[in-house]
Structure 1
Amino acid sequence: MKMAIISVSDKGRTLALKLKDKLDDDSTVIRCDLYHKNVKNYFPVLFYEYDAIIAIMASGILIRSIAPLVESKVTDPAVLNIDDNGNFVISTLSGHLGGANELAHKISGLIDATPVITTSTDVNKKLGIDVLAKDLYLTIDNTKEILYFNKAILEGNELSFTINPNKNFDYLFEYLNNNTLEIDLSIYYSSKISVDEIHVEIDEHKIILKEKKIVVGIGCRRGKECEKIYDGLKKSLDDLNIMPSRVNMLTSAEIKKDEKGILELSDKLEIPVEFVEIDKLRLFESRDVTKSDFVYSKFGIYGVCEPSALIMAGFDSKLIYKKTSYDGITISIAVSN
């Protein structure tokens, strides 16, 4: 997640610096930038450049600033509102699909504040269909149906999930098992459904959830064992609450195409691995990729795991886990748009 923290007072700026210091150490935070004052000029830029905006200011200033920019729960960024004293973290916009509710809990834990959540499904301890989609990195084909589905869930109505029997959906089963008290459902199987889709129905209404492509980029020293690479991968996935069965692909640079540990990991997890050509890595540009002079001195490229993951996840993909090192192994994770 790319975050912007914007403040208007000196006290707020001090809190912003404190918060940024903590977020910079978080592998799930790809970038965290600070902005101060000039709210009217900054917000139109921040709204389209970042996944989340943390506004340390009075709620009136924030609401008047974002009101002309709000478009859709599908595209709007997560917006949090924090008072200058850091007492409350309010999920203000895009609580579900944008992740503001989850982020409010996270940020409040970092600064010892009280999270404020107002969405109906959350306050009634029910699982929204849009929350499920966000948590499992799924797209929703008809977002206009979200309100109907969440209302039905609040009323305790049963949903039916239909999936392809030839696909490993362990990640879905575990997720649903962890939320059995929050949603009433039945699961059906049909080979007519695409392997990357989950069809959800209630009454005469239907939503199709489709997997986004999750790609794990791997870099490692020569000869690293499969188990060591797996340990690093598992730690990274745990940080994102992603099960290995949800990963669509492993990837690395072509210089690693004979790396035994990576190939064995692919076999072990039954996840395909692809190796990216050096020329593609050399030409790839993204301000979110960490550049390593050491890697460049050895291979003529500035990075392996991050650019490989972004390239294989496809055009307009984004990092959800920045390069993180585990004793000679680097892991990053990208997801398709």
Structure 2
Amino acid sequence: MENHIAIYALTAKGTETAHRLADSLRVDCYVLDRYAVETDIPFTSLKETVADSFSKYESHIFVAASGIVVRMIAPLLKSKDVDPAVVVMDQEGAFAISLVSGHLGGANELARLIGDKTGAVPVITTATDCAGVPSIDLIARDQGLTIGNIGLIKHINAAILDGEKVPVYDPDRFLDLSAYSDYFMMVDDFEVLSRSRCGIVVDWSVHNLPERVLPLYPRCLSLGVGCRRGVPADEILELVRSVVADNGIAFESMFCMGSIDAKSDEKGLLEAAEILGLDVKFFSAAELDEIEVANPSGMVMKHMGVGGVCEAAAMMLADAKQVLVPKTKSARVTAAIAKKI
């Protein structure tokens, strides 16, 4: 789908507002059939249309009463970390109300953008925005960190709103809080978190965290995989999950999987990458052979023309000089993990 924003209009006046907005933003314009023109997508049932389109767009703008919108989208909402942005406008185009997914979904930003484009007044009700203080979910999103438990965001933001500094344990300094020193304090002692109202841990390792400590995962680890022909995805997944668990690694910190290009059509490998939610990149034997691996294999050299696949692929992806987790083998699969420097 080319456009990432859908706009919906139910009245003649609302259609005029939707068309004005469509002139300045790239949107798919859904209009009640009696008011639709050739460039619109006509509909007869808003409920059926929204049910079909809701998950297909990153953002939705409704030129309609907020009560109608709430009833339409309520059964479709899942979680603030996956729901699309929803903004509601009145048919005159005077206001743009951020209704759902204000932070992570970008509804607050969209409401402000609509205001810039049309002169509508953005209506933002998220507490941190109203108070003019930072929100940890936005900071994490903007710095490419994965939020481990979305339900803990409210405790961090509440402490900030109450004027408390939130302790942050970040041994590798993945999170840049230099602009937010009034709201967060870096700590080197992990135990400080258990004595605090709440806290944040930024790490690629798994920790046993106190109840109100938010884990943030830097996407800094690469997974290298080698396998024999015809190995099913389940066998690859079994080894990968074992390697991750045995080494105390948070899988949320994985950013990519790599292997040799001779396996680029290997069904089980591709299926495993899809199940794990990882993009997969393939390297030529010549590229992998440039990497000095800790555990070369004569068998791999014989069949692939390279000393090692999984360690070399992981290191190439991470631009690392060594592996974090060396080659681990099952009967027909090998896996290794490297970390970005």
Shorter-normalised TM-score: what interval? Answer: 0.5 to 0.7
Matched residue, 2:28: 33
Matched residue, 1:120: 127
Q: Distance in 2 between matches of 1:112 and 1:276?
A: 51
Q: Distance in 1 between matches of 2:57 and 2:114?
A: 16
Residue 61 of structure 1 aligns with an amino acid whose one-letter code is I
Q: Distance in 1 between matches of 2:83 and 2:125?
A: 17
For residue 23 of structure 1, give the secondary structure of its aligned residue in structure 2: coil
Matched residue, 2:154: 147
Q: CA deviation at 1:187?
A: 5.1
For residue 40 of structure 1, give the secondary structure of its aligned residue in structure 2: helix
Q: Cα distance 1:194–1:85, how it changes in 2: closer, same or farther (>3 A)?
A: closer
Is it true that 1:67 corresponds to 2:109 in the alignment?
Answer: no
Instruction: Work out which of the two has the higher radius of gyration on C-alpha atoms and give 1 or 2.
Output: 2
Superposed CA offset, 1:49-77 (max 9, x none): 11111111111211121122222212211
- Is the Cα contact below 8 Å between 1:56 and 1:83 reproduced in 2? yes
Q: CA deviation at 1:103?
A: 1.6
Matched residue, 1:76: 83
Superposed CA offset, 1:239-276 (max 9, x none): xxxxxxxxx89xxxxxxxxxxxxxxxxxxxxxxxx899
- Is the Cα contact below 8 Å between 2:202 and 2:215 reproduced in 1? no
Matched residue, 1:9: 11
Is it true that 1:206 corresponds to 2:213 in the alignment?
Answer: yes
- Alignment: residue pair count: 210
For residue 23 of structure 2, give the secondary structure of its aligned residue in structure 1: helix
- Is the Cα contact below 8 Å between 2:24 and 2:117 reproduced in 1? yes
Q: Which structure is richer in relative contact order (CA contacts within 8 A, separation 6 or more)?
A: 1
Q: Distance in 2 between matches of 1:147 and 1:47?
A: 26
Residue 84 of structure 1 aligns with an amino acid whose one-letter code is Q
Matched residue, 2:312: none
For residue 13 of structure 1, give the secondary structure of its aligned residue in structure 2: helix
Q: CA deviation at 1:188?
A: 4.0
Q: Distance in 2 between matches of 1:105 and 1:132?
A: 18
2:103 pairs, out of 96, 99, 108, with 96
Q: CA deviation at 1:162?
A: 2.6
Q: Distance in 1 between matches of 2:184 and 2:206?
A: 16
Residue 112 of structure 1 aligns with an amino acid whose one-letter code is G
- Is the Cα contact below 8 Å between 2:146 and 2:219 reproduced in 1? yes
CA-based RMSD: 3.8
TM-score by length of 1: 0.53
Q: CA deviation at 1:194?
A: 8.1
Matched residue, 1:56: 63
For residue 95 of structure 1, give the secondary structure of its aligned residue in structure 2: coil
Q: Cα distance 1:91–1:197, how it changes in 2: closer, same or farther (>3 A)?
A: farther
Seq. identity, %: 37
Alignment of 1:264-303 (within 5 A): none
Q: Distance in 2 between matches of 1:194 and 1:134?
A: 13
Residue 76 of structure 1 aligns with an amino acid whose one-letter code is D
Superposed CA offset, 1:185-229 (max 9, x none): 225499xx9866899x9x86211212458xxxxxxxxxxxxxxxx
TM-score by length of 2: 0.52
Q: CA deviation at 1:101?
A: 1.2
Residue segments in structure 2 that go unaligned for 5+ positions in a row: 33-44, 191-200, 221-254, 257-280, 285-316, 318-341
Matched residue, 2:185: 185
Q: CA deviation at 1:82?
A: 0.6
Q: CA deviation at 1:114?
A: 0.7
Matched residue, 1:22: 24
